[in-house]
Amino acid sequence: MDLQLRGKTALVTGSTAGIGYAIAQALAAEGARVIVNGRGAATVEGVVQRLRATLGAQAQLVGCAADLGTPEGCAALTAQHPTLDILVNNLGIFEPKAFEAIGDEDWLRFFEVNVMSGVRLSRHYLPRMKGAGWGRIVFISSESALCPPAEMVHYGMTKTAQLAVARGMAETTTGTGVTVNSVLPGPTRTEGVEAFFATLAAEHGQSPEAFTQHFFAQARPTSILKRLIDPAEVAAVVAFVCSPQAAAMNGAAVRAEGGVVRCIG
């Protein structure tokens, strides 16, 4: 399927690793001009070069280093790239922590990075997309938005908040050619998750493979997939949602979580 993304400009926040990197690669492979984002200039440039080596010289890629967990970082990025066709709000942090140990500073930090980065960027780009008569905004949420995890309640809160923001924004796009959706991955084999699993496996005296099996048996027993999702599998869903082919999808929470969420809707 031709996703008709040639000539479109896309920003993928937090795209130097994990799901964000896979989304940037998928959109660039479809012919979009992709802005790669991370906090460090050297890291961003390294990822741009890595993607060019993977996709070929024809890939349209540009880097933009900015800390989007701050108002100043968002302002700097929007000043450098004032207009877009596609905004993928992927930036996010996670950290397992007992609820009783989550202080005010943790709640505020998670909200700033996971929610306000997308709010601030969307507030800038949404009216411009409406004026242009076309645009795509996608929030990368999580199955934790629907099934808040006991081990990181603050993270789950931000993922649920993203769904509310995206749905509310979608209500403002009537008849504009702009859509706002969320994609909900499940447990995914990102660098961060692999490092987290390796640490826990060592603490339990298990191999990473054995601990992964334990995780799905105990922590995510409802998973139908029973394995970590590959970032490229999530990226394929996001690329479709970003495309003109997905014009009928607006205000949707699209699940790509391996069947963890045990419901029909």
Catalytic residues: 155
Cα dist from 19 to 1, 185, 232, whole Å: 22, 9, 7
Please report, for residues 81, 88, 159, 201, the alpha-carbon distance to residue 145 in angstroms, rounded to integers and kept in the order given.
Answer: 30, 17, 5, 26
What distance, in Å, lies between the first and last C-alpha atoms of the chain? 27
How far apart are the C-alpha atoms of 57 and 156, rounded to whole Å? Answer: 40
CA distance 228 to 244: 29
Torsion of CA 119, 123, 127, 133, to 10 degrees: -20
- Nearest to residue 256, comparing CAs of 244, 245, 246, 240? 240
What one-letter code names the amino acid at 212?
T
What CA–CA distance (Å, rounded) separates 144 from 232? 20
